[in-house]
Amino acid sequence: MKLACAWASTRRQSPANEPRVLLALLGVRGCVMSADAGFTQPSTAAALTQAGADYVLALKGRQRQLPPAAQLAFAPAPTVAT
């Protein structure tokens, strides 16, 4: 198991692509990456997938559509009468 923590140490002009730049530096293929709710964006998930990583991203209540969607995705399947 490998564990890495990454902190910003270089000021950038635009923070728009920070996750992609960080992923390129870390080499995350085959890793499971976790991040706080600030990184829970479709673009971050796509960048992780394109880099060959799996991910665990946090959800918070202020992301109005995500928590209900996650609850629905993990809800028990309805029982079917036979």
Whole-structure pTM over 0.85, yes or no? no
pLDDT surpasses 80 at 17: no
Q: Which residues pair with 32 in a beta bridge?
A: 54
Per the CB < 8 A criterion, the answer to whether 51 and 29 are in contact is yes
Other beta carbons within 10 Å of 1: 3
Read off the pLDDT of residues 26-81 as tens digits, 9 standing for 90 and up: 788 898 988 887 778 888 888 889 989 998 888 877 777 878 888 898 999 888 88
**Cα dihedral sign for 17, 23, 29, 34?**
negative
